[in-house]
């Protein structure tokens, strides 16, 4: 049901997005059109053109979109969203669109259309669920990202906190204005925590050249989910792993994934260069969704093979379990636990069974939520939407509503996940909807269950 | 950037209401920010959270990990949400006069 609160939440965020884009001039429109004209210069032009060509407006995607299902208005239909890009491309860059624009829905890019682009592309959480169900295989997420890329490349515009995060990243090497001294102080704190909780003397290796694994977590975990760092550290300790972190590049997030190719490349190069400097064999991505997409999928496809492997920390831990390298006691987590599949981890990178292998041996009562795996629903904070304070009401009332219902149905007391974005969104959902549940990283639960 | 009246002074705030002139923060400014954040009147527990955040910020120029905050104050996250309904990052940090934390918080 579309309640008054939902209407207010959506309208509020739409107004904010409009304000962030600011006044749009004819000159701005021209600049964006020039970018659309350079579609062949995109890193994946054939795919984008194929997706622009294929949609038949059958509506299958709308039925699968968590936002549209919660709030069925035309503008939230994924096919409508991407038709904004399609109609402009047809009108300006195809012969048929230039000639018979009325017949094929071709539309001019003007100031109003550009505003609508910004709003619709940034309302999408880029979860890619609609793409799984499209009979033609159209990946609407790729088109939404392309629209964001055009605007960012032409006008340098994105949403407020995403832009701030990137400014911080390009100057300090992390998205949260964190300096090396803070990093080292935080490491010391979580080492002490492990000592208190487990009685183990553990040191996090820093800048160890030639270590087998170089771990980069999302630095959100330092602020928001330090237990995850404690769990990963303790797990490496128990498995006697040869690993390191870096005192310079300790943040794996890369917001360029969400909106800008140049930003993405600058940030991923920080990760690649540091992995080379440390001469690691495996770059291990901490509990982070979009960073997996950056380093596992986009990186090797667009920049060529790396001289090291990339793994999710979930794969590492699941392997240790299979090899019997770590001992776990599931009695340590007696409460019912469910698992939220982050879209970028599950649908994009296939990290699906690893967290389940782990949860089934660290929890007494593991329950699936439905649907799950690559058919999961987005938490409501994907695509960088959760980064914005101003998007809170939109996320808790609309984008995350289906996730709330899913969690309730499991009866679980803990919802575990492996993405920093999802953890923040789950925190907001649980608080706002007063659920008798808490969120946790998978490695938070590993920490409880680990034995030497 | 807008200016608003806090503790009897005109202070510049960003669009989410975080003060931009941290050196002008004082008890009265905090109390006016607490009114905006639905955390007024401020109890001893409110002050315990705010003072911890403030001191950490003065030393490290950033907000502390939530785990440090809950450990040093002895309050769990649920209770911090009771004190500051918009949570540790948006609610408590704002009242303590910190700049807005960035990146998935």
* pTM reported for the whole predicted model: 0.97
B38 contact A CB<8A: no
Average pLDDT, chain B: 94
Confidence at residue A98, expressed as pLDDT on a 0 to 100 scale:
85
**Structural domain spans, chain A:** 4-157, 162-321, 326-451
Best mutation target among A15, A190, A389 (most B Cβ atoms within 10 Å) is A389
* pLDDT < 70: residue spans in chain A: none
Residues of A in contact with B77 (CB under 8 A): 427
pLDDT the model gives residue A180 = 96
Nearest CA in chain A to B101: A176
Angle at B56 between CA B54 and CA B57, to 5 degrees: 65
- Angstrom distance (rounded) from CA A24 to CA A110: 9
Answer yes or no: do B100 and A389 touch at CB < 8 A: yes
ipTM: 0.93
Q: Distance between CA atoms of A409 and A239, rounded to whole angstroms?
A: 36
- What is the pLDDT confidence band of residue B105, given thresholds at 50, 70 and 90? low
Fold of A4-157: Fumarate Reductase Iron-sulfur Protein; Chain B, domain 2 (1.10.1060)
Backbone Cα Rg of chain B: 13
Burial class (CB in 10 A: 0-12, 13-18, 19+), A201: exposed
Alpha-carbon distances, residue A175 vs A51, A167, A310 (angstroms): 32, 8, 21
Q: What are the tens digits of pLDDT across the range B22-69?
A: 999 999 999 999 999 999 999 999 999 999 999 999 999 999 999 999
Tell me if chain A has a CB within 8 Å of the CB of B101.
yes
pLDDT of residue A105: 81
pLDDT in tens, A115-151: 999 999 999 999 999 999 999 999 999 999 999 999 9
Give the number of C-alpha atoms closer than 13 A to the C-alpha of residue A258, restricted to the C-beta side: 29
Q: Map chain B to HEC letters.
A: CEEEEECCEEEEECCCCCECCHHHCCHHHHHHHHHHCCCCCCCHHHHHHHHHHHHHHHHHCCCCCHHHHHHHHCCCHHHHHHHCCCHHHHHHHHHCCCCCCCCCC
> For chain B, which residues make up each domain, given as ranges?
2-95
Architecture of domain A162-321: 3-Layer(aba) Sandwich (3.40)
Is the CATH number 1.10.10.370 carried by domain B2-95? yes
Longest CA–CA span in chain B (Å) reads 36
Among A161, A165, A223, the residue with its CB nearest the CB of B66 is A223
Please name the residue of chain A whose CA is at the shortest distance from the CA of residue B79.
Answer: A431
CA-CA distance, A289 to A312, in Å (whole number)?
9
Q: Which of A64, A61, A62, A85 is nearest to A74 (CA)?
A: A62
**Residue A99: its pLDDT value, please?**
86
User: Shortest CA distance to A371 belongs to which of A203, A159, A121, A127?
Assistant: A127
Query: What pLDDT does A16 receive?
Result: 98
Model pLDDT, residue A262: 97
Active-site residue list of B = 104
pLDDT (0 to 100) of residue A284? 98
Tokens standing for residue A171: 């100057």
Q: Do domains A4-157 and A162-321 have the same CATH topology?
A: no
* pLDDT at residue number A437: 98
pLDDT at A394: 98
Q: At a CB cut-off of 8 Å and minimum separation 6, what does A225 contact?
A: A287, A420, A423, A441, A444
Both tokens of A117, joined, read 């682009």
The first and second tokens of residue A166, run together, are 């990137």
In CATH, the number for domain A326-451 is 3.40.50
């Amino acid at each position: 049901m579309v309640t008054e609160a939902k209407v207010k939440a959506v309208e509020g965020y739409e107004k904010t997005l409009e304000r962030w884009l600011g006044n749009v001039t004819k000159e701005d429109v021209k600049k964006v059109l020039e970018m659309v004209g350079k579609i062949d210069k995109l890193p994946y032009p054939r795919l984008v053109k194929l997706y622009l060509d294929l949609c038949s407006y059958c509506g299958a995607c709308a039925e699968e979109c968590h936002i549209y299902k919660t709030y069925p208005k035309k503008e939230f239909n994924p096919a409508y969203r991407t038709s904004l890009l399609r109609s402009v491309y047809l009108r300006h860059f195809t012969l048929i669109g230039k000639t018979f624009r009325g017949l094929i829905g071709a539309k001019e890019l003007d100031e109003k259309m550009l505003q609508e682009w910004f709003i619709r592309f940034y309302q999408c959480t880029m979860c890619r669920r609609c793409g799984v169900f499209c009979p033609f295989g159209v990946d609407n997420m790729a088109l939404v990202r392309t629209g964001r890329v055009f605007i960012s490349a032409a006008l340098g515009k994105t949403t407020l906190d995403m832009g701030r995060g990137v400014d911080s990243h390009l100057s300090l090497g992390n998205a949260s204005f964190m300096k090396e001294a803070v990093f080292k102080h935080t490491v010391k704190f979580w080492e002490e925590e492990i000592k208190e909780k487990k009685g183990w003397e553990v040191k996090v290796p820093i800048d160890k050249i030639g270590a087998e694994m170089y771990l980069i977590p999302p630095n959100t975990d330092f602020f928001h989910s330090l237990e995850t760092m404690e769990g990963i550290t303790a797990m490496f300790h128990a498995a006697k792993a040869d690993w390191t972190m870096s005192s310079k590049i300790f943040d794996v997030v890369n917001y360029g994934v969400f909106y800008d190719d140049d930003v993405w490349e600058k940030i991923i190069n920080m990760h690649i260069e540091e992995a080379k400097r440390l001469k690691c064999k495996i770059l291990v991505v901490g509990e982070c969704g979009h960073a997996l997409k950056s380093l596992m999928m986009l990186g090797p496809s667009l920049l060529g093979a790396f001289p090291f492997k990339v793994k999710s920390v979930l794969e590492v831990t699941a392997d240790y379990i299979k090899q019997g390298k770590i001992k776990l006691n599931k009695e340590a987590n007696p409460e019912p636990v469910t698992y939220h599949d982050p879209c970028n981890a599950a649908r994009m990178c296939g990290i699906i069974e690893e967290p389940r292998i782990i949860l089934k041996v660290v929890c007494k009562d593991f329950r699936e939520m439905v649907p799950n795996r690559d058919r999961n629903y987005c938490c409501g904070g994907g695509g960088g939407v959760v980064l914005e304070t101003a998007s809170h009401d939109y996320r808790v009332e609309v984008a995350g509503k289906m996730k709330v219902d899913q969690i309730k149905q499991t009866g679980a007391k803990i919802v575990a996940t492996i993405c920093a974005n999802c953890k923040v969104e789950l925190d907001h959902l649980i608080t706002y909807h007063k659920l008798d549940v808490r969120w946790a990283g998978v490695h938070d639960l590993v920490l409880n269950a680990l034995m030497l | 950037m807008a200016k608003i009246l806090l503790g009897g002074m005109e202070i510049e705030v960003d669009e989410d209401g975080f003060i931009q002139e941290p050196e002008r923060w004082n008890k009265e400014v905090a109390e006016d920010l607490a009114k905006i954040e639905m955390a007024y009147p401020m109890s001893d527990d409110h002050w315990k959270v705010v003072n911890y955040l403030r001191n950490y910020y003065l030393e490290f120029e950033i907000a502390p990990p939530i785990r440090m905050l809950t450990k040093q104050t002895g309050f769990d996250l649920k209770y911090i949400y009771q004190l500051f309904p918009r949570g540790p990052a948006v609610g408590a940090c704002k009242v303590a006069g910190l700049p807005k934390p960035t990146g998935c918080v």
